[in-house]
Copies of this chain bind each other. A is one copy, B any other.
Amino acid sequence: MSEPAATGNGRREVTVSDVAVAAGVSKATAARALGDYGAVSDAVRDRVLGAADRLGYRPNALARTMSTGRSNTLGIVVGDIENPFFAQATRGAADVAAAAGFDLILSNSDEDLETEAKAIGVQLAKRVDGLLVASASSVETENLRSVVDAGRPLVLFDRTAQGVEVDSVIAANRSGARELTSLLVDAGHRRVAFISTMTHPTDFDRSAVVATSSVAERIEGFLDALTAGGIEHPERHVHLNARREGVERMATRLLTGPEAVTAIVASDSLIALGVFRAARELGLQIPRDLSLVAFDDADWTGVATPGITVMAQPIHEIGAEAAELLIRRVRGDGRPPVTRVLKQHLVERQSVAPPASPG
């Protein structure tokens, strides 16, 4: 290779040194003019900027990062960017980041710990200034610890993590779930199912440690409401692992047979969609034959017939707030970690009614 350093197509990048030579000044001076720091006389600045323009100089942000130690890049690890929840949260974070001069490196974890670990590893290797993570597990926290150990600011969103002392931004899931479920209990439902896609090694029981804190909180709220309604063994109404079985299949199973439920709490809008489809497939009318409530005010919940009653979350804000906290940390804020809990709010539509035959 005789060429000094070439890009894919063989063109060499224009560097500060090139500009310096063209402008007849030292590299240091050219760098000052181009990087807009230190003192440079007006005449020289003009000459340098002119030369840079003529040569088509493009700064190399990586080289700058090498010497300053700041990359102006944040990492964000979400479950799945196709999930509207994460898309919205990411947008919220991206807006705040962009306004502060930061970029976002995006990774999908598919809610899998190993994938998440790999993603975090790469992000750290790329020297992101900080990391936003909706961790796949709030219990197994080695992934998160590795970030803290690496000395990188970390902010959790949507989910907290046990024993990891960092900022988090979450929603008030327990009270939201309680309120949502109470709607059903108060309407007279006794056989109410809670459905989540969250993977869990066993069936749910009271002692089970549910990995995703947001789901765990929702389950608690759900149980609160059932207990308050005097329903025995409320924990047997919690159904996890819906992804493995398939949401529609699980819903179909729960909606048929002698023990069929009369109401369902869907842990997110994607699950609710599956339930909705299953109900339609079975010829069940909502809310006459089935009452359905869910988390997240997704598009379709407002236009479906009937409209679905949902617990709306300030998703955009969750992402934005998390990014704000993270940027503050990156800038050196040393205050003790905070957990911001944002309010959810109920959007009542027409998917709740008393059960047809008292259960």
Name A residues whose Cβ lies closer than 8 Å to a Cβ of B. 5-11, 56, 58-63, 65-66, 69, 71, 73, 80-82, 84, 87-88, 90-91, 94-95, 98, 103-108, 122-127, 129, 149-153, 273, 276-277, 280, 298-300, 302-305, 329-330, 332
Partner of A90, one of B62, B81, B129, B332: B81
Does B151 contact A303, Cβ atoms closer than 8 Å?
no
Min distance, Cβ A284 to any Cβ of chain B, angstroms = 14
A-B CB contact pairs (8 Å), 27 listed: A7-B69, A7-B150, A7-B152, A8-B153, A58-B124, A58-B125, A58-B150, A59-B125, A61-B127, A62-B126, A81-B90, A81-B91, A82-B84, A87-B87, A94-B106, A98-B107, A103-B106, A103-B107, A103-B126, A104-B106, A105-B105, A273-B299, A277-B303, A280-B303, A299-B300, A300-B303, A304-B305
Does B8 contact A151, Cβ atoms closer than 8 Å?
yes
User: Hey, which chain B residues are within 8 Å of A65, CB to CB?
Assistant: 62
Q: Which 8 A-B pairs have the closest CB atoms?
A: A300-B300, A305-B305, A61-B125, A11-B151, A7-B151, A87-B87, A82-B91, A303-B304
Once bound together, how far apart are the Cα atoms of A304 and B61, in whole Å?
Answer: 48
User: Hey, which chain B residues are within 8 Å of A61, CB to CB?
Assistant: 122, 125-127
User: Hey, which chain B residues are within 8 Å of A103, CB to CB?
Assistant: 105-107, 122-123, 126
Min distance, Cβ A79 to any Cβ of chain B, angstroms = 11
Does A332 contact B8, Cβ atoms closer than 8 Å?
yes
User: Hey, which chain B residues are within 8 Å of A9, CB to CB?
Assistant: 151
- Kindly report which residue of chain B lies nearest to residue A91, judged by CB atoms: B82
Does A87 contact B94, Cβ atoms closer than 8 Å?
no
Does B73 contact A105, Cβ atoms closer than 8 Å?
yes
Once bound together, how far apart are the Cα atoms of A56 and B151, in whole Å?
Answer: 12
User: Hey, which chain B residues are within 8 Å of A122, CB to CB?
Assistant: 61, 103
Interface centre among A10, A82, A123, A273 (most CB of B within 10 A): A82
User: Hey, which chain B residues are within 8 Å of A304, CB to CB?
Assistant: 300, 303-305
Does A66 contact B62, Cβ atoms closer than 8 Å?
yes
- Kindly report which residue of chain B lies nearest to residue A68, judged by CB atoms: B5
Min distance, Cβ A299 to any Cβ of chain B, angstroms = 5
User: Hey, which chain B residues are within 8 Å of A81, CB to CB?
Assistant: 81, 87, 90-91, 94
Q: A8-B153, A103-B105, A106-B104 are in contact. Are A127 and B299 (CB under 8 A)?
A: no
User: Hey, which chain B residues are within 8 Å of A280, CB to CB?
Assistant: 303
